[in-house]
């Protein structure tokens, strides 16, 4: 029996509909998977921030003790790590007195030389970059400052700052990697610490 020409058209239309449905299903599954990954990342970010906020609140009392010079303070101001548990995770907390770090704007070449860099070259680059800025102006953030002076801020994490007031190191709060036998106590040793940088990071990132 001869086939009706319309049957072929019907079959083709059915196959086209099935193919379109398969494409739409695949697209929906792909978008759903992407949305789930995004949701998981956002949830993790929110949980991480909430944990950091809680840890910051917990640091108020030990930080006050450290700032007043309490010899029994559990928190040190020289980037010594303190491990705390929050939200079922371990966190590494480091607090650093900015006067114990090398200030990229104010440090003399002999203090820049405490870093594993060509101190004279960095000092010359610094002078050139600052000459191009309005008087008293600075770059807005430390990573940008470091980059303009030819340094990678991540390489010197915890060792450099742009927030000190004199450029002289306070040795009692200087991070261990910067301490050398040639450094002598300066006029800032007896001053109270008033400004610190706080770093809170998970011990094992997810």
pLDDT per residue, tens digit, the chain (206 aa), is 555 555 555 676 777 777 777 777 777 777 777 777 777 788 788 889 999 999 999 999 999 999 998 989 999 999 999 999 999 999 999 999 999 999 999 999 999 999 999 999 999 999 999 999 999 899 999 999 999 999 999 999 999 999 999 888 999 999 999 988 778 777 777 788 889 999 999 998 76
Strand order in the sheet with 82-86: 82-86, 89-97, 196-202
User: In 59-163, which residue ranges form alpha helices assigned H by DSSP?
Assistant: 60-67, 109-112, 119-131, 142-148
Note the pTM of the prediction, 2 decimals: 0.74
- Answer for the pair 39, 74: CB distance below 8 angstroms, yes or no: no
């Amino acid at each position: 029996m001869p086939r009706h020409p319309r049957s072929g058209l019907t079959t083709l239309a059915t196959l086209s509909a099935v193919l379109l449905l398969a494409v739409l299903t695949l697209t929906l599954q792909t978008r759903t998977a992407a949305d789930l990954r995004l949701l998981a990342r956002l949830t993790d970010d929110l949980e991480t921030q909430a944990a950091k906020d809680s840890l910051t609140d917990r640091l108020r009392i030990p930080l006050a003790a450290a700032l007043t010079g309490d010899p029994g303070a559990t928190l040190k101001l020289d980037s010594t790590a303190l491990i705390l548990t929050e939200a079922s995770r371990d966190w590494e907390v480091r607090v650093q007195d900015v006067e114990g770090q090398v200030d990229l704007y104010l440090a003399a070449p002999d203090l820049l030389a405490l870093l594993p860099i060509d101190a004279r070259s960095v000092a010359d680059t610094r002078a050139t970059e600052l000459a191009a800025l309005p008087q008293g102006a600075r770059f807005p953030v430390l990573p940008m400052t470091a980059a303009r002076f030819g340094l990678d801020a991540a390489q010197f994490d915890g060792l450099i700052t742009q927030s000190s007031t004199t450029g002289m190191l306070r040795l009692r709060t200087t991070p261990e990697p910067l301490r050398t036998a040639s450094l002598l106590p300066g006029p800032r040793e007896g001053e109270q610490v008033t400004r610190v940088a706080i770093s809170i990071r998970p011990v094992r990132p997810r």
